[in-house]
Each structure stands twice: as structure tokens, then as C-alpha cells.
Amino acid sequence: MNINELKQRCLEEIDKNKDKIIEAGRKIYSTPELGFKEVESTKTASEFFKSLGVDIKENIAVTGCMTSLNKDKNGPKIAVMGELDSVMCPEHKDASEIGNMHCCGHNIQVAGMLGCALGIVNSGVLEHLDGQIDFMAVPAEECIDLEFRKTLQDKNEIKYVGGKQELLYRGYFDNVDMAMMFHAQNFEDNKNCIIKSYTNGFIAKSATFVGKSAHAGISPHLGVNALKMATLATNNIDSQRDTFKDEDKVRISSIINHGGDVVNVVPSRVTMEFMVRAATVEAMMDANEKVNRSLHAAALALGGKVTIEDSIGFLPLDSDNTMDSVFKKNFVELMGGDDSTITDVVVTAGSTDFGDLSQLMPVVHPWIGGVSGALHTQDYKMDDEELAYIIPAKAMAMTLIDLLYDDAKTAKNIIKGFTPKFTKDSYLDFMEQNTNTYTFDYMN
């Protein structure tokens, strides 16, 4: 059977089960859950896998599930992923009672991944592919709800706050040679796909400022104001902005989690959370050092104390050019040969833990339309279920066939030409070396 016949059989199976694939996406949309809490979403993905008659492994990293296919083949292994977690957007009309909402489109990713798996399994093309495939519903891509994740770390239930980081640490990618997934995107012009995106990496950090309480009206001079330290730290960081190179796309975001207890008492404890983003690992580290100096200086200036907790968030994403080309060819074919709706390359300051994998192996990560309204906002909504769910499932299935057909020559050539920036061991060493706690105490 030639490659075009294999693709056609796969596409026919996806079309026959279109309603089933879309229903899985809708169901996950209706049960939005934050990272490492995706119990219902994992159940939906697991039940879908079971309906294909494949063996599955559940709760691969607290939550999440996967199936491994063609395990008896000696060829390359490709991981195809979809992310289970939601964000919080209480103002969205479809938000859950506690404010969770899938305005990130992760339910679309999972349904697309499941649809791809269905096409590969039900069509019978698997026996004609010279390699292995892992289909994975993975947890915790959004780097939020960090206090909960810290409790999991304290109980040794997770090592890292990102789902793919955790899976990498647990060995799920030890024998994986390549990886693929997609993200949903809203397009305001006539475009419907971005093939390649460069994204920022970031360092996740928290700061706890400790001062001394005092009556804010009668004796503020006896206090050490932790909120003033936080304000000064923010101003210090703002003063650093001219030192960042434009091409490094540095972004520093912060919130105050706790700003004091009552208004008539000098705040003695203030906590903040930061994301320090940049386009390269080197720029991340440079910007983070400047942020740490800014926090340190604020404590020094007011005679207080600051404890800074640093950890690597996600690393920059750089997909493989050849994998990008293979995916683009298939997407264009599904669009009837029209490539006018495709943007080849976009540079963005956003972040994803799929970037971590791109530092270790060749990956492909397109953005595909079908939704409108900005991601992570109350305006997000589904516009075109065919484009959002079905086209990506087909394009990924076709790409898998291209990569693994005919002794997996295309995949092998990509792997041979790829130079990783990290090995697993050096990656874990890097993560460990940059997980630090610093305390600067000027209270005594």
C-alpha cells in the first residue's frame, strides 16, 4: 500500500468518527480543571483511548494518560500530545463555578490528538509504519496555581511545576525521538495557521518581603513597611528595562498575592509572584539576575528582609524546520492546495513547556484557527469545529505517516540532522542548578 493510500484510509476513519472526536473536545471543555487536577478530563481521554482497544497508562504525572503503539517496532518513536488543563477566567460565560475556563483551547488539542490516534489505529495503517507512537494527554501546561503545586512538591508528588517537565523527569521521554502537538489560535485576518513560532522561556519566582508591624497612625516610624519594599522593588525592576535588548523580548510580569493584613497596621509581610520571560536561555538568566538585584536592593533600602524562590519555568520553543515543512505540506493539501491562509513564522513573547522538549529533540508545533476572541479572555469562543478539531487531527496523522513510512526515512534524517541543546541529564542538572532560594536579611 503506497503512502497516499495510507493517508486516505486514515482520513476516511477520522471523517467517519468526526462527531465522536468533537464530542470529546466538548466534554473536556465542560469540565475545565487546573494543572494536576484534571481528573475528569483525564477520564474523558482514557475512555476515548479504551474505545480504540489500546492499552493505556493512567495518572502518568498525578493526572494524564497515554497509550504506546507499535511497541514491537525498532524504528523512531514519536510522541503526539494534547494538554488537559484550563486557565481561570471567571468573567467568561462558560466558566465553572470556581472560575475555571478552557479559553486556552487545550480541550481542542486533546480532541485533535485523540482524533489523530483514532485515524491511525482504526485505519490499520499502523502496521505499515516503521516506528513507534506515543499518544499522550498531558497535565499542567499553564504555569499557574503555584501554591497548590508547591504543596504537591512538598509531598514529593511532583518534582516540577510543568507537566512536560515532570514527564521528562519521570522518564516518559527517555526513548522518544520526536514530538508533535498544536495550539489553537484566534486569527483576525484571513489566516488559519501559523506553522512555526518562536516563544519565550521564563523563570518563575516568588518573593516574600518581611518587615515589622506598627500602628500606621500613631507610630509608623516603629515599623518596617513590607509593602513599601514591594513597591520599591517594582520600581527598581522598571528602571532595568532600558538594559534589556529588544531582540531578547524580555517581559517581566508580577502580582502581589498578599499585600498586608489591615489598613491601619504597617504591613509586615507581603508576597509577590513573578515571571521573567526572554527569547533565549542566556537572556532569561541575565534578566533574572537584574530582578533579584532589584528585590535585594528594596530590602536593603528599608532595612527589611526578602526571601526569593527561583525555578526555571519553561524554555524557549524552536521547532524543527523539516518537521514544519512536512506538516505544512499536509495542511495545505487539506486546505485544497491553498497556502495563502498560512503564516510561516511568528515570534511571540508567550511561553509553553513544549519549548523544553524542543531543546532536547526535534518537534513541530503549529497554531491552528477555528476560534475567535483573544486566548485567556472572556471573548474566547469556538467558531469552526471542523477547522479546530478535525483538520489538526488529520494533518498530524498525515505527518506521522510521512515521518514513519518506508523505513521511517524522513524521521531518521530529521533525527540525524538535529543537534540538541540539552541531554536529559544536562537538562535536569540545569533545572536543579537554577532552583534556588535566596534570603537577604537587614532586620538586625
pLDDT band for position 189 (cuts 50, 70, 90) = confident
Q: What is the mean pLDDT of the chain?
A: 96
State mean pLDDT over 321-338. Answer: 96
Residue 416 lies in a domain: no
pLDDT band for position 286 (cuts 50, 70, 90) = very high
Cβ–Cβ < 8 Å for 195, 237: no
> How far is the first Cα of the chain from the last one, in angstroms, to the nearest whole number?
78
DSSP 318-332: ---HHHHHHHHHHHH
List of residues 6+ apart from 212 with CB closer than 8 A: 222, 223, 224, 266, 268, 304, 443
Residue 409 lies in a domain: no
State mean pLDDT over 171-190. Answer: 95
Q: Do 9 and 145 belong together in one domain?
A: yes
φ and ψ at 401, to 5 degrees? -65, -45
Decide: helix, strand or coil at residue 231: helix
200 pLDDT above the threshold of 90: yes
Query: 217: exposed, middle or buried (C-beta count within 10 Å: 0-12, 13-18, 19+)?
Result: exposed
Nearest CA-CA partner of 207 in 300, 326, 296, 84: 296
Q: Which domain holds residue 261?
A: 201-314+428-441
How far apart (Å, rounded) are the C-alpha atoms in residues 209 and 12? 60
DSSP 148-160: HHHHHHHTTS-S-
417 pLDDT above the threshold of 90: yes
State mean pLDDT over 122-127. Answer: 96
pLDDT band for position 40 (cuts 50, 70, 90) = very high
Using alpha carbons, list the distances in angstroms from residue 354 to 6, 62, 118, 329, 373: 29, 19, 23, 22, 23
Q: Do 340 and 267 belong together in one domain?
A: no
Q: Do 87 and 42 belong together in one domain?
A: yes
Q: Which three cell numbers stand for residue 2?
A: 503506497
What's the CA dihedral at 296, 297, 300, 301 to 10 degrees? -150
Decide: helix, strand or coil at residue 258: strand
pLDDT > 70: percent of the chain? 100
Check residue 146 and give its pLDDT.
Answer: 83
112 pLDDT above the threshold of 90: yes
Q: Do 165 and 234 belong together in one domain?
A: no
Q: Do 331 and 385 belong together in one domain?
A: yes
State mean pLDDT over 290-308. Answer: 98
Residue 400 lies in a domain: yes
Q: Do 323 and 306 belong together in one domain?
A: no
How far apart (Å, rounded) are the C-alpha atoms in residues 203 and 346? 22
Cβ–Cβ < 8 Å for 51, 57: no
Q: In what order do the strands lie in the sheet with 305-312?
A: 251-258, 269-278, 201-210, 305-312, 436-441
As beta bridge partners, residue 325 has none
> pLDDT of 55-98, one tens digit each?
999 999 999 999 999 999 999 999 999 999 999 999 999 999 99
> pLDDT of 347-389, one tens digit each?
988 889 999 999 999 999 999 999 999 999 999 999 999 999 9
Q: Which three cell numbers stand for residue 197?
A: 513560532
Residue 169: give its domain's CATH number: 3.40.630.10
Check residue 349 and give its pLDDT.
Answer: 87
DSSP 247: G
Q: Do 302 and 333 belong together in one domain?
A: no
Residue 414 lies in a domain: no
State mean pLDDT over 135-159. Answer: 94
3-state DSSP helix/strand/coil % of the chain, to nearest 5: 40, 25, 35
Q: Which amino acid is at 237?
A: I
State mean pLDDT over 28-48. Answer: 98
Q: Indicate the pTM of the whole model.
A: 0.91
The total number of structural domains in the chain stands at 2
State mean pLDDT over 407-433. Answer: 96
Query: 338: exposed, middle or buried (C-beta count within 10 Å: 0-12, 13-18, 19+)?
Result: exposed
Whats the size of the chain, residue-wise?
Answer: 444
pLDDT band for position 332 (cuts 50, 70, 90) = very high
List of residues 6+ apart from 439 with CB closer than 8 A: 305, 306, 307, 308
Nearest CA-CA partner of 353 in 103, 73, 161, 77: 161
> pLDDT of 226-284, one tens digit each?
999 999 999 999 999 999 999 999 999 999 999 999 999 999 999 999 999 999 999 99
Q: Do 137 and 236 belong together in one domain?
A: no
Check residue 359 and give its pLDDT.
Answer: 95
Q: Do 298 and 328 belong together in one domain?
A: no
Residue 423 lies in a domain: no
Residue 413 lies in a domain: no
Q: Do 388 and 324 belong together in one domain?
A: yes
Q: Do 147 and 294 belong together in one domain?
A: no
Residue 287: give its domain's CATH number: 3.30.70.360
Q: Do 169 and 121 belong together in one domain?
A: yes
Residue 31 lies in a domain: yes
Check residue 1 and give its pLDDT.
Answer: 83
Residue 274 lies in a domain: yes
How far apart (Å, rounded) are the C-alpha atoms in residues 52 and 64? 17
Decide: helix, strand or coil at residue 426: helix
Check residue 188 and give its pLDDT.
Answer: 83
Check residue 147 and give its pLDDT.
Answer: 84
